[in-house]
């Protein structure tokens, strides 16, 4: 009888031990990375960062996460070592144990804390992220992992501090030009230009901000029948005859982080994610659908964010180099003074399309990672605008996003086509420079 009791007690202890072990094995590193990115997008929306600034936040946080996460797979090479302006990255101590999923999160939040405003919300996200790790890991491994992640994050921040962003905060505002064919503030708010000096930020991988310059746009000519006049007439005609599908496409890809609505003297603002946030969300979908592990997920986010950041530097160089007039300005002056575009015109020069450029670069990077026949349903925007759309490939999504700016009445066809073309070149350039293990 005594032996039976001992046997039953042993079985009970084994079951308890197994249950305890199972209860602790709850942290999916890839899922944590996905949640971190979603948290960051929500924070960027709340803090109302402009699209270029958001891209900067995404690239430094994502590179930090990858530089820590990569150590989980000895075959995964450093991206930082192949990029510009970064110092030597901290390395794990061979005599210590780490959980690199936790380290990646700490690196990510260390950077995010210095680049966002809502500190209490970020601290809440961070605490929720670390809690399951703390339950699963020994105190020593938990602290080792946090310390390593923080050291990586601080090293990334050194590069961020020297990229010329801080200097652009105090540069003179730009209100456009009264010259024919040049950009000037547009209705309804007639705001000064957003980020007129963004092209002065230091590229992370490109040779220069104008490496992918598409060349000048058509010469201003208000004579009917000229190339300039006719491309304005196309925007006007398309805008006057939009189908319901075209309106849906324009709305789906709008991604204006702060749309001002006007009714009489009343104004109301609507917050939405940035175009970069939209593509970081698509990156999350790609990771989940492909069941990418944590290391590939970290690489996906880093390369997508890099494509967005370099795309914005490139396209803002083009925008302020040519300082091209928006359709609403010329159409109101020469064609129809009561015409309004379907979407609210962003406050910066027209040529080329920023959406088209960053979309082309991000889609190309994702295609090179996951293939040219990667079908997906884009639900990343659903929590903001309650819409989703399905695509057969990243490039198909990019092409739809690009032409949506023509439907929205805020870009000429040449600007969306040239922007998309430049974006694809940027994406391929990034891929060629950062092939793994080369």
Expressed as residue numbers, the domain containing 376 is 171-433
Length of the chain in terms of residues written = 438
> Which CATH number characterizes residue 149's domain?
1.20.144.10
Same domain, 193 and 310: yes
Residues 363 and 388 in one domain: yes
Rounded average pLDDT over 118-134 = 97
240, two tokens: 């006057």
The residues with which 268 forms a beta bridge, in sequence order, are 261
One domain, residues 100 and 53? yes
Per-residue pLDDT, 422 = 98
Tens of pLDDT, residues 55-98: 999 999 999 999 999 999 999 999 999 999 999 999 999 999 99
Task: Provide the pairing of β-strand 258-263 with 266-271.
Answer: antiparallel
Residue 241 domain-assigned (yes or no): yes
Using pLDDT thresholds of 50, 70 and 90, give the confidence band for residue 257: confident
| Angstrom distance (rounded) from CA 17 to CA 384 | 44
The reported pLDDT for the residue numbered 274 is 96
Residue 17 within any structural domain of the chain: no
Cα angle for residues 212, 250, 308 (degrees, 5° grid):
30
What is the per-residue pLDDT for 435?
Answer: 78
- Measured CA to CA in angstroms, residue 38 lies from 120, 146, 305, 313, 326 at distances of 17, 21, 14, 24, 33
Domain boundary among 96, 126, 160: 160
Q: Is residue 24 very low, low, confident or very high in pLDDT (cuts 50, 70, 90)? A: low
Pair (258, 213) in one structural domain: yes
- The reply to whether 50 and 176 lie within a common domain is no
For residue 321, what is the domain's CATH number?
1.10.606.20
For residue 261, what pLDDT is reported?
56
Helix axes 413-433, 394-407, angle to 10 degrees: 150
**182 in the same domain as 87:** no
CB 35 within 8 A of CB 28: no
Contact 214, 424 (CB under 8 A): no
What's the confidence (pLDDT) of residue 269? 57
Q: Which of 131, 160, 189 is the last residue of a domain?
A: 160
Does residue 130 sit in the same domain as residue 212? no
Would 307 be classed as within a structural domain? Answer: yes
36 Cβ neighbours under 8 A, 6+ residues apart: 65, 105, 108, 109, 125, 129
Residues 87 and 188 reside in one and the same domain: no
How far from 57 is each of 40, 63, 179, 278, CA to CA, in Å? 9, 10, 35, 14
- Exposed, middle or buried by CB within 10 Å (0-12, 13-18, 19+), for 228? buried
* Domain final position from 133, 160, 187: 160
Do 238 and 407 contact (CB within 8 A), yes or no?
Answer: yes
Residues 89 and 222 reside in one and the same domain: no
Q: What is the pTM of this model?
A: 0.92
Number of independent structural domains in the chain: 2
Q: Are residues 421 and 350 in the same domain?
A: yes
Residue 172 pLDDT > 60: yes
Among residues 396, 395, 388, the alpha carbon closest in space to that of 366 is found at: 395
Backbone angles phi, psi at 325, to 5 degrees: -70, 145
Predicted pLDDT at 263:
45
Digit-coded pLDDT (tens) for 384-438 = 999 999 999 999 999 999 999 999 999 999 999 999 999 999 999 999 999 754 4
Radius of gyration, alpha carbons of the chain: 24
The DSSP call for residue 49 is: -
Are 70 and 209 found together in one domain? no
Q: pLDDT per residue over 215-250, tens digit each?
A: 999 999 999 999 999 999 999 999 999 999 999 999
Shared domain check, 322 and 273: yes
The model's pLDDT over 282-299, given as tens digits with 9 standing for 90+, comes to 999 999 999 999 999 999
How many other C-beta atoms can be found within 10 angstroms of the C-beta atom of residue 175?
14
3-class DSSP state of 270: strand
Kind and range of the H or E element at 248?
A: helix 244-252
Structural domain contains residue 136? yes
């Amino acid at each position: 009888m005594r032996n039976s009791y001992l046997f039953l007690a042993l079985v009970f202890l084994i079951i308890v031990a197994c249950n305890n072990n199972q209860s602790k094995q709850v942290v999916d590193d890839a899922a944590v990375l996905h949640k971190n990115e979603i948290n960051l997008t929500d924070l960027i929306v709340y803090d109302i960062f402009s699209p270029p600034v958001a891209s900067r936040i995404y690239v430094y946080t994502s590179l930090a996460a990858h530089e820590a996460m990569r150590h989980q797979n000895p075959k995964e090479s450093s991206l930082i070592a192949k990029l510009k302006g970064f110092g030597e990255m901290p390395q794990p101590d061979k005599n210590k144990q780490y959980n690199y999923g936790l380290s990646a999160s700490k690196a990510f939040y260390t950077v995010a804390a210095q680049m966002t405003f809502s500190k209490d919300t970020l601290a809440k996200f961070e605490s929720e992220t670390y809690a399951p790790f703390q339950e699963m890991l020994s105190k020593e491994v938990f602290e080792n992992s946090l310390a390593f992640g923080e050291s990586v994050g601080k090293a990334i921040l050194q590069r961020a501090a020297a990229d010329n962003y801080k200097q652009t905060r105090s540069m003179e505002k730009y209100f456009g030009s009264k010259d024919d064919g040049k950009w000037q503030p547009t209705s309804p708010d007639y705001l000064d230009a957003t980020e007129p000096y963004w092209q002065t930020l230091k590229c992370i991988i490109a040779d220069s901000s104008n490496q992918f310059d598409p060349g000048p746009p058509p010469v201003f000519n208000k004579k009917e029948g000229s190339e300039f006049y006719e491309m304005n007439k196309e925007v006007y005609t398309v805008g006057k005859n939009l189908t319901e599908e075209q309106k849906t496409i324009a709305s789906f890809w709008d991604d204006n982080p702060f749309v001002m609505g006007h009714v009489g003297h009343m104004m109301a603002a609507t917050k939405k994610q940035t175009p970069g946030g939209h593509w970081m969300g698509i990156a999350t979908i790609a990771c989940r659908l492909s069941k990418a592990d944590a290391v590939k997920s970290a690489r996906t986010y880093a390369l997508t964010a890099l494509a967005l950041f370099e795309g914005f530097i490139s396209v803002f160089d083009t925008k302020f180099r040519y300082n091209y007039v928006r359709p609403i300005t010329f159409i109101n002056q020469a064609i129809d003074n009561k015409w309004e575009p379907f979407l609210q015109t962003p406050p910066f020069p027209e040529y080329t399309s920023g959406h088209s450029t960053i979309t082309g670069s991000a889609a190309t990077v994702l295609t090179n990672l996951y293939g040219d026949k990667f079908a997906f349903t884009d639900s990343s925007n659903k929590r903001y605008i309650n819409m989703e759309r399905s695509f057969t490939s990243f490039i198909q999504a990019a092409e739809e996003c690009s032409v949506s700016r023509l439907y929205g009445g805020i870009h000429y066809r040449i600007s969306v086509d040239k922007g998309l073309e430049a974006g694809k070149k940027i994406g391929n350039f990034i891929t060629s420079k950062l092939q793994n293990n080369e």
